[in-house]
């Protein structure tokens, strides 16, 4: 899915992002025909031969050592998440084993846990970003126009990436849609590197690339970031604006499942809005146009 071609694309985008002066390379006034660093310049900075680096960028070297990959990561000034992604792309055989085609399920313990979190929006996602379970408040916050029971039916299970890029509701829900789009693609890139042989994940990426021009443009930039915590802004159709902190917690003993939970600052307007949403039965009214019909065949406007 993301290798070997994905490895070359990733390295080229990172080379192009570095200016020679950023890393102490002297150009001596020569006209540069490529953006960023040349291959030979990066090879020099990493302490490897140009021929070896070229083979790696072309996906022809599957046995790169940790030391070589670490040196290239330092030369490219990769973040920790990007460094991990580089290793996954360079050595796909060592990435996570192929995920089974059968649908994932959330364990009874974690389902019970999120059900008990009645004042906190919480949901369980698999590594493909399929919603395996959510509590009423998470459903009301993120996708109240969908059937609450959909996660329990694999053939109808919502996928947060698909909803974000293809459902017009997302453009209404996220006032900082561009920021959230970059965050979503960054997390999906990391998951693709961790699960290079997952057919269903590859199909999701292909679908989004074909149906969402904005996704395709962002995907081509190869952003990589785990996005396990931060703040999201919402413009909810029932309770208005909210700024909520989020945490994504990996669930041990699962194939990449995570528990995503949101919280508001005590005493804030966002906390009051969450209480209002809870008091409303955590079931916002369905918007005009119906439920699943909101997910169209082209990118949301």
Span 202-248, pLDDT tens digits? 999 999 999 999 999 999 999 999 889 999 999 999 999 999 999 99
Pair (152, 235) in one structural domain: yes
Mean pLDDT on 91-105: 63
Pair (137, 88) in one structural domain: no
Q: Please report which confidence band the pLDDT of residue 160 belongs to, taking 50, 70 and 90 as the band edges.
A: very high
Q: What is the CATH number of the domain that holds 15?
A: 1.10.260.40
Pair (141, 177) in one structural domain: yes
Q: Is residue 114 part of a domain?
A: yes
- pLDDT tens digit string along 75-88? 999 999 999 899 88
Residue 256 DSSP code: S
In this prediction the pTM is: 0.81
Percent of the chain at pLDDT > 90 equals 60
In this prediction, residue 28 carries a pLDDT of 53
In this prediction, residue 57 carries a pLDDT of 87
Q: DSSP letter string over 75-129?
A: HHT--HHHHHHHHHHH-GGGSPPPPPSSPP---HHHHHHHHH-TTS-EEEE-TT-
Mean pLDDT on 130-138: 97
Range of the domain at 68: 5-94
Q: How far is CA 239 from CA 137, 202, 244, in A?
A: 12, 36, 13
Q: Please report which confidence band the pLDDT of residue 32 belongs to, taking 50, 70 and 90 as the band edges.
A: low
Q: Is residue 101 part of a domain?
A: no
The residue ranking higher by pLDDT, 60 or 16, is 16
In this prediction, residue 38 carries a pLDDT of 87
Enter the tokens of residue 77: 């000034």
pLDDT, averaged across the chain: 86
In this prediction, residue 4 carries a pLDDT of 53
- pLDDT tens digit string along 4-14? 568 888 899 98
Q: Is the pLDDT of residue 289 over 80?
A: no
- pLDDT tens digit string along 101-131? 667 899 999 999 999 999 999 999 999 999 9
Q: Is residue 300 part of a domain?
A: no
Closest CA to 73 of 10, 24, 27: 10
Pair (75, 37) in one structural domain: yes
Pair (160, 208) in one structural domain: yes
């Amino acid at each position: 899915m993301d290798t070997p071609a994905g490895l070359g694309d990733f390295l080229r985008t990172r080379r192009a992002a570095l200016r020679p002066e950023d890393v102490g390379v002297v150009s001596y006034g020569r006209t540069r025909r490529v953006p960023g660093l040349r291959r030979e310049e990066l090879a020099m900075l990493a302490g490897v031969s140009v021929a070896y680096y070229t083979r790696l960028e072309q996906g022809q070297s599957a046995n790169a050592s940790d030391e070589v990959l670490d040196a290239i990561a330092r030369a490219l000034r990769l973040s920790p998440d990007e460094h991990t992604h580089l290793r996954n792309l360079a050595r796909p055989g060592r990435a996570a084993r192929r995920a089974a085609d059968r649908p994932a399920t959330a364990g009874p313990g974690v389902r019970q846990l999120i059900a008990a979190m009645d004042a906190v929006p919480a949901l369980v996602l698999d590594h493909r970003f399929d919603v395996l379970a959510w509590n009423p408040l998470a459903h009301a916050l993120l996708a109240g126009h969908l059937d609450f029971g959909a996660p329990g039916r694999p053939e109808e299970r919502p996928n947060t990436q698909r909803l974000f890029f293809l459902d017009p509701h997302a453009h209404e829900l996220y006032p900082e849609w561009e920021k959230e789009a970059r965050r979503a693609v960054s997390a999906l890139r990391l998951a693709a590197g961790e699960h290079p042989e997952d057919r269903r994940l590859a199909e999701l990426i292909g679908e989004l690339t074909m149906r969402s021009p904005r996704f395709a443009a962002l995907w081509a930039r190869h952003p990589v970031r785990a996005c396990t915590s931060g703040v999201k802004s919402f413009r909810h159709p029932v309770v208005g604006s909210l700024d909520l902190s989020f945490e994504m917690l990996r669930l041990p003993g699962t194939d990449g499942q995570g528990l995503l939970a949101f919280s508001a600052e005590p005493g804030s307007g966002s906390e009051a809005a969450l209480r209002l949403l809870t008091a409303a039965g955590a079931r916002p009214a369905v918007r005009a146009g119906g439920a699943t019909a909101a997910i169209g065949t082209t990118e949301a406007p």
